[in-house]
Chain A
Amino acid sequence: MSDYIKPLPKPSPTSLPFWEAARRHELKLQYCEACKAFIYYPRDRCPTCFSDSLEWRPVSGRGKVYSYTVVRRASSRSFADGPYVLAIVQLDEGPRMTTNIAAPPEQVRVDMPVAVYFDDVAPGHTLVKFKPA
């Protein structure tokens, strides 16, 4: 048994390919052919054109910190184990993701280049996080 106490994602039929790819340490997002655009988080339909023909494609895993905060006092007990960097990363392919940055808080800046890494937090569960590039 894992002693990991933070919330874990429960994949839906829609999002399962995203989390399965993450477990293989691959970052795959849905792509809308009509909009020529990637989508995050996974949807049944493109939120722009409402088409349901979406294709899973690998992305570079590179991006920039769009914004961030250092959570020094968490709103949830499961995150009370110390400050953590919560961020919005904008991928080079366009979409923004909520994530964590693995770096000393004082080194994190808005617009800083980052690259994906895969954090196997608990058996069968991999979170998509970023570190300075």
Chain B
Amino acid sequence: MSLKGKAAAIGIGELKPLKEPGNATALGLMGKVAAEAIADAGLEKNDIDGFLVGMPFSDPGMIYPASAAEVFGLRPRMLNVVDIGGASPAGMIWRAAAAIDAGMCNAVLCVVADLNRAGDQRVPTVSVQREFEAPYGNIGANCGYAMIAHRHMFEFGTKAEQMAKVAVDQRANALNNPLATFNDKPLTISDVLSSRMIVDPLHLFEIVSPVSGGAAVIVASADVAKRAKHPPVWILGAGEYANHATITYAPSIVESPIKPAAEAAFKMAGLAPKDMDFVCPYDCYTITVIVTLEDAGFCKKGQGGKFVEEHDLTWKGDFPCNTHGGQLSFGQPGLAGGMSHVTEAIRQLMGRGGKRQVKDAHLGYVNGNGGIMSEQVSLVLERRS
């Protein structure tokens, strides 16, 4: 049993992130991007019979999917919250394909949106994290990724300049993305390294900025995809894996669960990393991209720093990576940050990349990453020519 070619992404909706949300609500933003995605797919709301939604930090609650579906007037045959952190959006895509393949539904709305206000605080909410992490100040994601970066530098000699280059090349991509939060001026390696140190060894410009926004994707059966306005983007492979929640208890902090997730995705697709025309790895921090490229098999373990140093990660480069700017330049509107990698891959494969279109883009790799390198979802997507 495989999901290869069983369903396609046929429509997207995405907001330019807001630095301050004003009167916006998470449900309001979800409705907006849902309407945009349904129209983009060439469907009507009543065509939607599956509903996967992310729970917003700003308006959480139990029994969330039915409540949101009621607000939007949806009558889904399959509905769920997907709660695997930043991997939720990528996780929604294969879950939608699986539900379609199982005959449960035909057109799934995958939607995420959230609000972030200046000064918002994040505290761990699961009891073991409140008990064994929070008292020592292991609160929020910054600390865990900083410790990954230090260990990576120690084991493999990864350099600060190499990590900074990820942010620099992705910014060059963002300059061609009108939706990106930071798209007004280029960044240099010295800009990154002279930005404020937040959690050693990570500087301010190596860390995502919380913003508000939303994004949606419609995943449909082959039958529905025939009616789509744009070229369908087929799900060829998917893989998911987790082996820890808090990084302290991971088997290794420099080798992530991306490896088994990516291996499963490439195996299902019958393809290899070298076949990809571009990649969209989750980038909450610069180090995340380096670890992802290693564990997904684009370079050897420990060589990620050298790899990003030696390759041009821009849309016109030899290794196009996060052509929308990544979340580092796009901003992180809660879970919609993770959806930005999915929407960008779909845009590139549909040939809607505008000024940042990768030439002859037929195959793309997406990775979604939750928590501190915890939940991982890899996708291989294809545009058939």
Q: Mark A40-68, 1 if CB is under 8 A from B, else 0.
A: 01000000000000000000000000111
Q: Interface size for chain A: under 10, 10 to 19, 20 to 34, or 35 or more residues? A: 35 or more
Q: Please tell me if the beta carbons of B131 and A41 are within 8 angstroms of each other in the complex.
A: yes
In the complex, which of the residues A67, A72, A73, A86 contacts B136, with contact meaning CB atoms closer than 8 Å?
A86
Q: Please tell me if the beta carbons of B146 and A100 are within 8 angstroms of each other in the complex.
A: no
- The answer, yes or no, to whether A103 is at the interface (CB within 8 Å) is no
**Docked complex Cα distance between A129 and B131 (Å):** 14
Residues on the A chain within 8 Å of B153, using CB: 110
Residues on the B chain within 8 Å of A10, using CB: 127, 130-131
Q: Mark B245-279, 1 if CB is under 8 A from A, else 0.
A: 01111000100000000000000000000000000
Q: Mark B96-139, 1 if CB is under 8 A from A, else 0.
A: 00000000000000000000000001110001101111111111
Q: Please tell me if the beta carbons of B137 and A73 are within 8 angstroms of each other in the complex.
A: no
- The answer, yes or no, to whether B24 is at the interface (CB within 8 Å) is no
- The answer, yes or no, to whether A2 is at the interface (CB within 8 Å) is no
Interface set, chain B 156-214, CB cutoff 8 A to A: 196-202
- The answer, yes or no, to whether B361 is at the interface (CB within 8 Å) is no
**Docked complex Cα distance between A26 and B200 (Å):** 31
In the complex, which of the residues A67, A72, A99 contacts B151, with contact meaning CB atoms closer than 8 Å?
A67
In the complex, which of the residues B138, B154, B202 contacts A86, with contact meaning CB atoms closer than 8 Å?
B138
Least distance between B131 CB and chain A CB atoms (Å) = 5
In the complex, which of the residues A12, A69, A111, A127 contacts B147, with contact meaning CB atoms closer than 8 Å?
A69
- The answer, yes or no, to whether A11 is at the interface (CB within 8 Å) is yes
- The answer, yes or no, to whether A9 is at the interface (CB within 8 Å) is yes
Q: Mark A66-80, 1 if CB is under 8 A from B, else 0.
A: 111111111111010
Chain A residues in contact with chain B, CB under 8 A?
6-12, 15, 41, 66-77, 79, 84, 86-88, 96-100, 105, 110-111, 127, 129
13 further interface pairs, Cβ-Cβ under 8 Å (given A12-B131, A67-B154, A98-B248): A7-B135, A8-B135, A9-B135, A72-B200, A73-B198, A74-B139, A76-B122, A86-B138, A86-B143, A88-B248, A96-B249, A98-B246, A100-B136
